[in-house]
Amino acid sequence: MFSKALFKQSMKANWVKWVMATASTCIMLAIVIIVLGNLGINNIRDQLKEVFTQADQQSYLKTSSIDSYDLYLNAVDFENGMVMLDESNMDMASLLWGYVTRGYDNALSSYQPADPEAELTEEDYEIIRNNAVDSVYDQIIGLLDMFPQYAEDFNFTETELKQLLYFMMLTYEDNPDFTGGEATNEKVISAIKTRFLDYVQDNAYATALSQEDATEETALASAMSARELASDAFDSYDDQKASAETDGGTFVYDNDNFKTLANDYVNNMIYNQVLTSFTLGSDGDLSEEEQAEAEQMAVASKVMSNTAITTYEFWIKELTTDEDGLPLDLTDEQLAQAYAQAREEATKSITDQIDAEVSKALEELGNMDIYSLIIGSIFYRIAGLLMPMVFVIMTANGLLAGQVDSGSMAYVLSTPTKRRTVTVTQMTYLIVSLFAMFALLTITSVIAVWISGGNAFAINYEQILLFNLGAFLTMFAIAGFCFMCSALFNRTKYSLGIGGGVTIFSLVCTILGLFGSTVVPSAMRISAMNFFNYLSVITLYDTVSIMAGSLAYLWKFAILLGIGIVCFIVGIFRFDKKDLPL
Residue 1 sits in the site that holds other proteins (CB under 8 A): no
Minimum distance of other proteins from residue 21's CB (angstroms): 17
Q: How many CB atoms lie within 10 A of CB 98?
A: 13
For the chain, give me the number of helices (H) and strands (E)? 22, 0
For other proteins, the closer CB: 48 or 404: 404
* Residue from 2, 8, 38, 318 in contact with other proteins (CB under 8 A): 8
Give the residue, chosen from 2, 5, 50, 141, that forms a contact with other proteins under the rule CB under 8 A: 5
* Interacting residue with other proteins among 38, 159, 406, 460 (CB under 8 A): 406
How does DSSP classify residue 290? H
Q: Is 531 in the site for other proteins (CB under 8 A)?
A: no
Position 551 contacts other proteins (CB under 8 A): no
Segment interacting with other proteins, rule: CB under 8 A, options 12-20, 113-121, 461-469, 481-489? 12-20
Stretch that binds other proteins, among 56-64, 323-331, 405-413, 442-450 (CB under 8 A): 405-413
Closest CA to 231 of 93, 377, 67, 78: 78
Q: Give yes or no for residue 209 binding other proteins (CB under 8 A).
A: no
CB of 518 to other proteins, least distance (A): 45
Say how far apart CA 237 and CA 577 lie, in whole Å.
Answer: 103
* Number of other CB atoms surrounding residue 149 within 10 Å: 8
CA distance 468 to 159: 70
Q: Give the N- to C-terminal CA distance of the chain in Å, as an integer.
A: 21
Closest approach, Cβ 18 to other proteins, in A, equals 13
d(CA 410, CA 144): 119
Task: Choose, by CB under 8 A, the member of 217, 256, 355, 579 that binds other proteins.
Answer: 579
Q: How far is CA 443 from the centre of its chain?
A: 36
Residue 403 in the binding site for other proteins (CB under 8 A): yes
Q: Which residues contact 70 (CB under 8 A, 6 or more apart)?
A: none
Which is closer to other proteins, CB of 214 or CB of 582? 582
Is 557:477 a contact under the CB 8 Å cutoff?
no
Tell me the number of residues near other proteins by CB under 8 A: 29
- Residue 475 C-beta: closest distance to other proteins, Å: 22
Out of 410, 439, 443, 569, the residue judged to bind other proteins by CB under 8 A: 410
Question: Smallest gap, in angstroms, from Cβ of residue 405 to other proteins?
Answer: 9
Q: How big is the CA angle at 547 (ends 544 and 553), to the nearest 5 degrees? A: 60
Phi-psi region of 277 (alpha: psi -120 to 50; beta: other; left: phi over 0): alpha
How many other C-beta atoms can be found within 10 angstroms of the C-beta atom of residue 222? 22
Closest to 191 (Cα-Cα) out of 176, 173, 177, 171: 171
**Which residues ranging from 13 to 72 are in contact with other proteins (CB under 8 A)?**
13-14
Selected range binding other proteins among 121-129, 234-242, 401-409, 456-464, rule: CB under 8 A = 401-409
Contact pick of 12, 217, 246, 528 for other proteins (by CB under 8 A): 12
Binding of other proteins by 416 (CB under 8 A): yes
Nearest to 261 by CA among 78, 75, 81, 86: 75
Interacting residues toward other proteins by CB under 8 A: 3-6, 8-9, 12-14, 398, 403, 406-408, 410-419, 577, 579-582
